[in-house]
Amino acid sequence: MTTDIAPGYDHFTSGIGAAMIGWFGCAMLCYVTPKEHLGLPNKEDVKQGLITYKIAAHAADLAKGHPGAQIRDNAMSKARFEFRWEDQFNLALDPFTARAYHDETLPQESGKVAHFCSMCGPKFCSMKISQEVRDYAAAQTIEVGMADMSENFRAKGGEIYLKREEA
């Protein structure tokens, strides 16, 4: 455990330590529940401990540069950026919780295809705004390129067919 001042959250503090020792080569991690030294864990406590340690193990694999560790993260990042909610749920370490949290605020089926989340809404979504900026920049690049080509065309006399220059 990285600190001992968080009873009820020992799964977090030990998960941080687990990620570190996993990074340094520890081959086996033993999960801790939120009720560590407070009481007997129930099913939800065990689930929280296991998820925390799955995250820790994955973080360690990423830190070590383990082959293939980045693939799932990249797929999730792409799914998030493209607002592919079903893919996000399915790629999550805990798909049931991810879906449940999403459905608390956007329970309708239309929420599963929305190009925004309930946190920022449709007008302030940073990913949507980033995409709009990229689209605008790409369009501007095309406009500038077309203007340059037009100027070049006019500078050469505006002729469609040019005589080949002899070498």
Would you call 16 exposed, middle or buried from its count of C-beta atoms within 10 A (0-12, 13-18, 19+)? Answer: middle
pLDDT of residue 99: 93
pLDDT in tens, the chain (167 residues): 788 899 999 999 999 999 999 999 999 999 999 999 999 999 999 999 999 999 999 999 999 999 899 999 999 999 988 889 999 999 999 999 999 998 888 777 767 777 777 667 767 777 777 788 888 888 888 888 888 888 888 888 888 887 777 65
pLDDT of residue 153: 85
Domain boundaries, the chain: 1-66, 70-120, 125-157
Q: Model's pTM, two decimal places? A: 0.72
Token pair for 40: 């007997």
Label residues 100-117 b or e (16+ Cβ within 10 Å = b).
eebeeebeeeeebebebb
d(CA 63, CA 129): 30
Query: How is the chain split among helix, strand and coil, in percent rounded to 5?
Result: 60, 0, 40
